[in-house]
Homo-oligomer: A and B are copies of this chain.
């Protein structure tokens, strides 16, 4: 059994946080990001709440809509707590 502490947040947490941050920086609503990435608005909301086990193709679509590389959405978080 392989167990490893995930530093920098889980993949879901990373994508959620980066989406929110980039969306805010670009002044985009969840709805407009959803439209640009051809996903449903409520789906984007649930990704930002870490509720979804998003597929690579959809993470890629979100990255393209935000004009960043997919690796930017998976970059480790600086967790200060």
- The quantity of this chain's copies bound in the complex is 2
| In the A-B complex, the 3 residue pairs with the closest CB atoms | A11-B56, A53-B55, A11-B60
How big is chain A's contact interface, by range? 20 to 34
B36 near A70: Cβ-Cβ < 8 Å: no
B67 near A4: Cβ-Cβ < 8 Å: yes
Chain B's nearest CB lies how many Å from the CB of A29?
16
The residues of B that contact A12 with a CB separation of less than 8 Å are 56-57
Q: Which of A8, A69, A76 has the most CB of B within 10 A?
A: A69
Chain A residues 1 to 52 lying within 8 A of chain B, measured CB to CB, are 2-4, 6-8, 10-12, 14-15, 36-37
List A residues at the B interface (Cβ < 8 Å): 2-4, 6-8, 10-12, 14-15, 36-37, 53-57, 59-60, 64-65, 67, 69-71, 74-76
